[in-house]
Amino acid sequence: MSTNEENELRLRCPNQSIYPYINQLISELDITGGDERKVGYYAGLIESLFFVTEAMTVFQWSRASDHIGRKPILLIGLAGSMISMLLFGLSKTFWALVISRCLTGLLNGNIGVMKSTIGDLTDSSNRAEGVSMLPVVWSLGATIGPLIGGTFARPHERFPQVFTAPFWKAYPYFLPCLIGVGYVFVAFWITAFAFKETIPKKRRSRILSRASSTDSSENPDFHYRADRPLLLRELFTHRVVLSVSNYVALAFLNISFNALLPLFLAMPLNIGGLGLPPSAIGYIMGGYGAATGIFQFFWFAKINRMLGEKRVFVTGMMVLPGCFMMLPMISVVAQNFGVYALVWVMIAFTMMLAVIMDMAYGAIFMYITASSPTKAALGATHGLSQTSASISRAIGPALSASLFSLSVQEGWLYGYAVYVIFAMLSIAGICLAQQLPEEVWEEEEENDDHDTDA
């Protein structure tokens, strides 16, 4: 596993660790007035804030990495993740949680930069293998993170013989945050000493020199050099817009499902949930993450070469309506027969659908990378895609969680309207996916010497 992929793993661990206990944490803040039906509003807001603030800065971080290199931005993102997660664990009010999540998003420029790094290190002949590692490390974080959150939340209750100090009762959710910070701390020092910059020195110096002069009269070949910095408007080509639009649709629907799933699992049976404890939710989400990683590692590159990027992406989008509609079906079975074996089988089947859906990320990443107008604009292209996706991911949790609460409170479609709405939106996403070309676009050749520096 490369240093770049270890960064992704350690960033995902702390961020994913909050999902098993976030609903319980919100209910303990008294902000809901004791009405558990309102938990969805506030939990969705907390989950969305990260993506709102990420959308404000991720393009600037990614574009800066084109100019000064990937490594400095990765180090800033890792440091920001550590600080914000410590603050989250020490938060005792709703607004303290808000500030810590906003800080996480503002300083998190690493997602777009890491994707750009994969683009730097691969070409069309081996990109499928490189891309297949991204879901693997994501899934490791998605496996370890929820397990940490579900296992170590409220340690004074789960391990009363060990965590006896009053501190752990006063800050019952600090331990999973601290463990997550430990992972990021290791990644920070590995990156500092072992990560080799992926942008050649010659390209960086040319980009920096040309960034200081954008006047075509002073720089006659400005409009023709592939290594010059692009203006923002120049990124909006047809193929960039099309690939980014599909990424936005996938990100929006996926984050909405990911926000609904722990909410559905945590809420009581009588309001359409399953009433499971944080530990059980952590095991379910951790199992899903592990299954995704194993499947992507062994099969993504093979399936992608066999079916092609478009079919892989469309297939991933086509299972999303099923993911959403499985949740009300599970609820009906649980309310009539209790949470027994059939319910767990249905949950496992839903997670299998989600694993298939996750293949779409690798496919659309290959479209986005190939759509970059120039090699020197790769970071900016991924920054644009990540900014757009972050906006959709900011809307998704708040919208889906709020619709969950509204559906239950107002009795829309017996409390299940939220799932029908998102299933219909998923069908619209399938129609958009059909607009992609059968094969990714040809990439522009680069003449840089492929020298790297530590």
- Encode pLDDT of 245-298 as tens digits: 999 999 999 999 988 998 899 889 988 899 998 888 888 988 888 888 888 888
Q: What local confidence, expressed as pLDDT, does residue 205 receive?
A: 57
164 and 38 in contact (C-beta within 8 Å)? no
- Distance (Å, whole) CA 399 – CA 23: 16
39 and 26 in contact (C-beta within 8 Å)? yes
Which residues on adjacent β-strands are paired with residue 453? 197
Task: Name the strand (E) or helix (H) holding 137.
Answer: helix 127-152
- Distance (Å, whole) CA 453 – CA 444: 23
Q: What local confidence, expressed as pLDDT, does residue 66 receive?
A: 80
Q: What local confidence, expressed as pLDDT, does residue 390 receive?
A: 85
Q: What local confidence, expressed as pLDDT, does residue 329 receive?
A: 97
How do residues 215-240 score in pLDDT, each as one tens digit?
444 444 444 445 555 667 788 899 99
Rg (alpha carbons) of the chain, rounded to whole number: 22
Helices (H), 267-340: 278-295, 301-307, 309-318, 320-337
- Distance (Å, whole) CA 389 – CA 383: 10
Name the pTM for this structure: 0.73
* Domains and their CATH numbers in the chain: 3-195+234-433 (1.20.1250.20)
DSSP letters, 361-407, are HHHHHHHHHHH-SSGGGHHHHHHHHHHHHHHHHHHHHHHHHHHHHHH
- Distance (Å, whole) CA 213 – CA 205: 13
Residues of the chain below pLDDT 50: 2-11, 214-225, 446-454
Q: What local confidence, expressed as pLDDT, does residue 388 receive?
A: 92
- Distance (Å, whole) CA 155 – CA 167: 11
